[in-house]
Structure formats: C-alpha cells, structure tokens
Structure 1
Amino acid sequence: MSQSTQKKSFKEKLKIIGPSAIISASFIGPGTITTATQAGASYGYALLWAVVFSVITTMVLQMMVARLGIIAQKGLGAAIRDQFENLILKYSVMGFVLMSIFIGCAAYMSGDLNGTSLGIATLTGWSINVIGPIVGIIVLLLGISGSYKLVEKLMIVLVIIMSIVFITTMIVAKPDLAGIFSGVFAPSMPPGSIITIIALIGTTVVPYNLFIHSSSVQEKWNKPSHLKDSRWDIFITIGVGGLITAAVLITSGTLMRGVEVETVADLALQLEPLLGSWAETFLAIGIFSAGFSSTTASALGAAMVASSMLKWENGMKNWRFKTVFGSVILIGILSFILNFEPLEVLLFAQALNGILLPGIAILIMVIMNNKKLLGNYRNSLKVNVAGSIIVIICLGLGTHSLITAIGDFIG
C-alpha cells in the first residue's frame, strides 16, 4: 500500500479493517455483555463513561503494540524476551507471562463455551450439554486449519452481526438521549458501583489481546507507511466494539432499571414487548456471536503469546502453535462437560491477571521507548503521558483485583 490512508476512499478504508476486528471480537464476550447488562440494570446510564474510558485505554495500548509489530516486525512476546539480558530475569518474566495467560485462557474457556451454547440452545431448543463440545470442536478445527485469513474474516463477520443485533436493540428501546449524554460526559460513581466499573474496564482491556495484535498486524503490514492504515483499523473496529458494549448497557439501562440480572438472556424478556416472538431469536444470535468470538480469541491468545515469546516460526501453521491452541480448547471442553469450574482455579486466574495487566502495561512502556528497537518510531511525549496514566490506572485495577481474589480465597 503506497497510498496513505488519507487518500483512500471510504470503501477502500473499510477493506483495511482486519487485525483489530480480532481484538473487538475478543473483548465482546459473554462476560462483557453480562457485565454491561448488569451495569445498565443497576445504575442506568451512569457508567457509560467507564465504557468510553476503557475503549480509549484499549486503543492507546493496541496502537502501541501494533506500531511495535509493524516497525520492528516483532511480536510483543519476542520483544519482552529480548528486552532482558539477565537470563534469570528474562526466563522468570517469560515463565510468569506464559503461565498467567495460559491458565487465564483455560480457566475462562468453559464460561465462553457456555455463553455460545446458550445462544444456540435458545435458537434451537437443543441441550447446552451437547452444543458446548460441538462448538469447542468447531473452534479447534478452525485453529488447526492454520489459516489466519480465515480467522480474521470470521471475526469481522461476527463483529458485524453483533453490531446489527445490539445496536438495533438499543435503537428499538428508545433510550433517553439526554441521559446518555450525561452518562458519557458527566462521570459519576454511584454507591457500590466500583466493582462494576472495574469489571467493565477489565473485560475490555485484555492482556492477551496485546500479544495477538502485535503479531497479527505483521500478517497484513510491514512498512512505516502502513501505520496510518493500522490506526484507521484500530479507531473504527475497536470503536465499534465499544459501541456494542455501550449499546448493551444503554438497552439494559432503558428497559431493565432495577431488575436483578442473572444472565444476559434476561434481556430477551425485556425485549419481547418491542420485538415480540423475535426477541429471543434476535438476542440469541448476538449471544452466540459474542461467545464464539471470545472462545476463538482465548485459544488464539494463548497460542500467540507462546509463539511470540518462544519465537516459533510460521505463525498459525506451526505445529506447536496448534498444540497450544488445541490444549486450551480441549481443557475448556473437558471443564464444560464435567461442569468443572473450581473457585480456587478461577480466583487464582483472577489474581494472576491482577498482577499481569499492570506488569504488561509497564513492559510495553519500556519497550516502546527503546530507541535501538524502534528508532524514530518510539513513543512521543504525548503517548508517554497517556501511557503513564494508563499504567497507574492498571496498577490500581490490578491491586484491587489481587486483593479481592485473595479475600475471596481466604473467605
């Protein structure tokens, strides 16, 4: 691509979309949709600012790692590995990151399969216990195919489907525009909302997405002139992802204020007066898309972290990449079949993530200021200021997550 993005037509710009679609499809999972539904039901539009903040934070971090991948042609994992000369420090950091990502992805895989199955079960009436393993096997075959292009195109389709479903439901719900404006531009923290705020941010700013993005951009771009294309991809696709999350929160805040939410399926009941018999079907398609995309991204994230950090060649076609991908899926399928989600494992994964997120944010800041690696494309002062603020916030979120996990474990 020799032309700059600014000279392209809107249609041509849409063709640029790719790597960031995987990121959006990843963070719009059953967890995000359920959290957004609960946020709207409990606090109305008051926490919309947290969605906006989390999307901006995600864009800033993803732009940094995308720049790393395009300019240095190196994934975040490889950059972290090469950053340390001390062997003990190098392999300690590598070991912790690999363990944290793998355990986290495997621990939440069962929940992602459950969210996907819930959507199909609502549509077909089939048993969730049958659907879950079938979905897992489909995702497994997708990874074994070794085709990045296939995964990218699938994620774009799923993001489009989720956009249609959740944004349409928001419009049909006829929300209060003044209330939305206030929720976005007049930040507030209603009593008891801190946990929900942390959950909204934590389900959007996902550590393994940073590794996925730094590697996936290399499949599409390899020149400094491509940075504008990458930024356009990030602004549009992650922006749409944030809009989907906001749409769920707004719909819930309009129709479910004061209703106790157990699962996102509860939203279908509130949509029946507006959509009639189509309410369940329409929402089921959205829930399925969210679950399937998140399931695929979890396995992809674990495999890409290992591939980048251990410097495996040939990306998704490498047999070791496929082994890691398959292992995460198989653990998820087995956990789903046995209904095996021990609280200790989930709390351990939460505690690891509480340390991992701020740790990765700090490492990214160090790497992105490495003149030897990035030359004139290292962070500017403005980006460093924004990044430093994000690091401080990640430290706060991580500390809270760690303390909560330890408290729950002891309790």
Structure 2
Amino acid sequence: MTENKTVPGAEGAGPGSAASRTAVLDDLHVGDIRGAMGTIRQEDTGPRRTLRRRLTTLLAIVGPGLIVMVGDNDAGAFGTYTEAGQNYGTTLLWTLLMLVPVIFVNQEMVLRLGAVTGVGHARLILERFGKFWGAFSVIDLFVLNALTIVTEFVGVSLACSYLGLPKIPTVIVAAVLVVAAVSTGSFRRFERLSLVLVGFSLVIIPIVLMVHPPVGQIAHDFVVPAIPGGSGQLSDVMLLIIAIVGTTVAPWQLFFQQSYVIDKRITPRFIRYGRADLIIGIVIVVAGAAAMMIFCAGTFAGRPEFGNYTDAAGTAAGLGQYVSHTAGVLFAIGLLDASILGAAAVGLSTSYALSDVLSINHSLHRPVTKAKGFYVCYAGLMAVAAVLVLTPGVPLGALTSGVQTLAGVLLPSASVFLLLLCNDKAVLGPWVNGRGVNVFTGIVVWVLVLLSVILTASVLFPDIGSGVILAILGGGGGLGALLGVYLLLASRRARMKALVGKAAEVRAGDTHDEESAGSAPEADRDTWRMPPLSELARPVLSTQHKLGLMVLRGYLLVAFALVVVKIVQISIGS
C-alpha cells in the first residue's frame, strides 16, 4: 500500500507543528475552496466577524451536507416513504423526527473526519484496523451501492413511464448524462449541477398543499410514536421501519461525505460552516420525506389502494387520478430528479471508496485521462445498473424495497467503525468525540442491532407475533442498559489509569505526543491535521473489542443473507 504524498504548504504547517506534515492525499486536495456559490482563498484564514462575511463563507462551503442528505431522498426513499403513507397513513411520521439527531451525529462525525484527516473513510478503516476489516467494509458497501444504483434507474424508468417517455432510450440517456456530469474534470461544475438537482427536489412539496391534509393529525403523529396495524401486520411494519432507517441513514453517506469534504478542500477552520450546511440538508430531506408520507396518506385514505402499495408509478397514477394531473407530473419529475442525483452520489461514494483502498488517483478536480480507474469504476456501475433495469424478468420491485432494508441491517457495523475512528486521538487529535456523542452513538448502534434482530426473526418465523417482538425489544433494551453501565465503568477506570500514567510521565519530564494532540488548546484546533498514516501507530484493540467486532460481523452476514431470502420470497410471491 503506497503512502499518501506529503503536501507542501499545508494549512498550519510550520517547524515542529503537528500539521507540518499531513496525510492529505495530494496537491489537488489542498488549495482554494471553489464551491458552487463562492470561493475561499487558501490564505483567507481571518475571523468572520460580520454577518456578510459569515454568509459568503457559508455559501462557499454549502454542498457536502446538502448533497449527501438530499441525495439520500432517492428512488428507494420515494418507494419507502410513499409505501408508509399509502399503507399506514401518517402514523410513522414520528420515525423521521426521531432520526434527525441520528442523522446529524453520524454525518457530523464524518465531516470532522474528512476535514481533519484529509483521508477517505475506506482508507482510514483499512489503515487503522487492517486489510480484513477494510476489505469487509468496502465489499459491504460495493454490494449495497451496486444494488442501490439499480433502484435509481428503476426510479428513472417509472418516472419516464408516467411522463410518457420511452423506457429504453430514456434510461440510456439518463445513464450517459449521470456519467457525463461527473466526468467534466471540474469539481465546481459538478457541484453546481448537483445543487440544481437539489433545487428541483422541492417540486414535491406543493403536492401537500393540493391534498389539504389534516394538520392536527400530522402534528400528533410527528411527536407520538405508534405502531399501526394488528399483530398480524407487525412483521411488515417492523420491516418498513427498518427500511425507513436504512433509507434515511444509509452507509454510503458516510463514505461519500468524507471524501467529498476532502475533495472540496474543507479544513478544520470551516467545520462549523460544514455543520450549518448539514443542518440545511437535514431540514430539506425530512421535509421531503414527510411530504411524501402526508400526501400519500391524504390521497389514498378511504380508497381501494389504501394498504395496497405497488410502486412509485402507482403513487403517481393515484395522485393524477385523485388529486390532479399536475400533482402526478410533479411527483414524477421529483422522482426522476431524485433518481439522477441519487445515482450520481451513490456511484461517487463507491468510486471514492474503491480508489481509496486501491490507492488509485481520484478527484473530481481531475479529468478522465488522469484518473481513469476512478471514472471507469463509476461509469461501469452506471452501465451495469442500466442494463439490469432494461433486462426483462429482473424483480425490480422487490429489489427496490429490499435494498433499503439491507442498508438498515448493515448500518450498525458502519456506525461502529465510525465511532472507533472518532475516538482515535492519533486520527482526530483535539477533534475526538466527547462523552455525550459516544453515549448517544452507542445507544443508536444498539437500537439498530435490535431492529436487525427483529428483521432476522421475521424472516425465520414469518408468523412472529407482537409478544415476541416486544420481548426482543424489552430484553435487548435491558441487556443494552447493563452493557452500557459496564462500558461506562470500564471507561472511567481506563481514564483514571491514563491520568495516573500521565501524571507519572509529567513528573518524569516525559509526555506522549498522541496525548498532547488530544488535549491541544482550543486555538490550535483550526489548524490541527492528522499526520501521515505511516507515522501513526496501529491502534491496539482489546480482546472485548475484537470479540465484539467478530460477533457483529458474523451476525450481519447472517442477517444480510436472510434479507436476500426475504427479497427472493417476495419476488416469487409476486
């Protein structure tokens, strides 16, 4: 594995400073931030004291958080949210509100990793945890992303069918346009095109006004959790909730945003603006998801189609029949827009990750001739997905719903590695997680594992009752609480031991560089960058950590296989 090049003149460089040599990939990843809506010069490191300066800085930074969030409201999300609204009304709106802090915490950690390290997510996992875990994570990502891109072209096909466009030429043209948009060799040009697509994603919002939904009921369902249906439907509802989690907080987002932040040349100095960018994206994605649930609930309530979801094309047809032709057209345009943006973002996530682990040149600043492997991987994914969509007999409907469930199943392992990296002082120095973030993320991971257990049980035992599901949640919650207490006590003991050791080192006149990096003064945070990976000692995982990772991966393999079985069963049944 070749080491990343040292970047002359990296921000914060100076004799003896921690950032005098960094792990930033190469000179294309250092320099002016040339965003879609503004530029920040590399030497512009002064404070932003006026409102105008802050706004112009935010406009230049906006992009990574906005694109990754809106890109996640893709074709699969359209299918998942409209299914929730058509089959269960607005009773699952609460899942969106509960996922907001999960989305923010996960993606904020990725933002910090990208800005501070200058190294992609896949490469960090590979270098810090070894080839086995690095390869495993990338294989998970590649399989899931490849299937996800297929669902994006399913979305293109369904949207164009409703709009009266021929399927084969439209899918081919869409694939060519998605590849062309990424392959211009200009980062700014790609970001501008992406933000145009982000703007078009808002076309579905007016449909809510056309439906005239009950505002009081919507407000209630946002804040009061409820599981719709009887015990016979509980398995299907839990499967759908896991799909909502998987489509709202997907593993590809982690890999995409970290690499995109690096490609945009965002440094620790601008992390606070990156957080604002992320918040804007979260507001838009939750508004879009809620809109789909709401207008589907309002459109199909009391009609034969309620509780009998088919696909996004059926949703468009229902809107056209029961609301207005304009509503159906707006929905189809939104679906087409979401599918194209989703395909571009998910494809880039895959190409970034594979290029990371294979040490291939990769950057949207590079033309095709100087990053052939990166662009070939991207174009290959689009071509394969388009061919599958155009091939008769492929169970596209089952695949679309199953992919979101797979994302929910695989998310715990992605979150575990994210948590470990964000507690690695050699990697993040003064930017490591605080205790509150660690506790919250640990709870999230455990909840995701419990949802995966329920999913696995529903596959093994299709007639599983509500009592068993509640027992899994109750027992798992109790076990999680005991595990949390144990980990907190173990963490406290480790901190006390570390403090005693550090005090001894201070008395002896010796301090450890890694600990010094982790306790750097606030003034140094804006310029602290991770040193070259070759200079970092490999983290030593405890036996408990190793055992936990092995158990988690083994379980996820089983859950992954069982979800595939579920998809096959649905395909055969339909």
What is the number of equivalent residue pairs in this alignment?
A: 403
1:195 corresponds to 2:239: yes
Q: How does 1:48-87 map to 2 (within 5 A)?
A: 48-84=93-129
Name the amino acid aligned to 1:326.
A
| Identical-residue share of aligned pairs (%) | 26
Distance in structure 2 (CA, Å) of the matches to 1:134 and 1:337? 13
Specify the alignment match of 2:199 in structure 1.
160
Question: In structure 2, the residue corresponding to 1:265 is in which secondary structure?
Answer: helix
Distance in structure 2 (CA, Å) of the matches to 1:105 and 1:207? 9
Alignment equivalent of 1:276, drawn from 324, 340, 344 = 324
Specify the alignment match of 1:386 in structure 2.
440
Distance in structure 1 (CA, Å) of the matches to 2:213 and 2:181? 39
Shift of 1:237: 1.2
Distance 1:335 1:364, change over 3 A: same
1:357 corresponds to 2:411: yes
1:234-289 CA distance string (max 9 Å, x none): 00012211210111111111221252221223333444478633233222211111
Distance 1:196 1:257, change over 3 A: farther
Alignment equivalent of 1:212, drawn from 251, 256, 265 = 256
Alignment equivalent of 2:376, drawn from 323, 328, 332 = 323
Q: Which moved more, 1:54-63 or 1:202-211?
A: 54-63
The CA RMSD measured in Å over matched residues stands at 2.7
Length-normalised TM-score, structure 1? 0.89
Q: Which moved more, 1:296-305 or 1:12-21?
A: 12-21
Question: In structure 2, the residue corresponding to 1:375 is in which secondary structure?
Answer: helix
Length-normalised TM-score, structure 2? 0.65
Shift of 1:410: 8.6
Name the amino acid aligned to 2:264.
K
Q: Which moved more, 1:69-78 or 1:305-314?
A: 305-314
Q: Which moved more, 1:389-398 or 1:264-273?
A: 264-273
Question: In structure 1, the residue corresponding to 2:248 is in which secondary structure?
Answer: coil
Distance 1:7 1:230, change over 3 A: farther
Alignment equivalent of 1:135, drawn from 157, 174, 178 = 174
1:304-353 CA distance string (max 9 Å, x none): 1112333433423322111211121121122122236369x959978975
Distance in structure 2 (CA, Å) of the matches to 1:6 and 1:38? 47
Alignment equivalent of 2:139, drawn from 99, 107, 119 = 99
Question: In structure 2, the residue corresponding to 1:145 is in which secondary structure?
Answer: coil
Asked if 1 retains the 8 angstrom alpha-carbon contact of 2:246 and 2:406, the reply is no
Q: Which moved more, 1:210-219 or 1:46-55?
A: 46-55
Q: Which segments of 5 or more consecutive residues in structure 2 lack a partner in the other structure?
A: 1-39, 457-558, 570-574
Q: How does 1:2-401 map to 2 (within 5 A)?
A: 2=45, 7-9=50-52, 12=56, 13-84=58-129, 90-123=130-163, 125-163=164-202, 165-191=203-229, 192=234, 193-257=237-301, 259=306, 260-272=308-320, 276-316=324-364, 317=366, 318-339=371-392, 341=394, 353=407, 356-399=410-453, 400=455
1:99-118 CA distance string (max 9 Å, x none): 22222222232321121132
Distance 1:151 1:4, change over 3 A: same
1:334-378 CA distance string (max 9 Å, x none): 2122236369x9599789756632111101111000111111110
Q: Which segments of 5 or more consecutive residues in structure 1 lack a partner in the other structure?
A: 85-89
Asked if 2 retains the 8 angstrom alpha-carbon contact of 1:103 and 1:349, the reply is no
Distance in structure 2 (CA, Å) of the matches to 1:6 and 1:305? 38
1:20-58 CA distance string (max 9 Å, x none): 122123211121112111111222211111122233312
Q: Which moved more, 1:287-296 or 1:315-324?
A: 315-324
Question: In structure 1, the residue corresponding to 2:312 is in which secondary structure?
Answer: coil
> Looking at both structures, which has the greater relative contact order when contacts are Cα pairs under 8 Å and sequence separation is at least 6?
1
Runs of 4+ in structure 1 deviating by more than 6 angstroms, as ranges, are: 3-6, 347-352
Distance 1:107 1:363, change over 3 A: same
More helix by share: 1
Distance 1:152 1:410, change over 3 A: closer
Name the amino acid aligned to 2:291.
A
Name the amino acid aligned to 1:174.
H
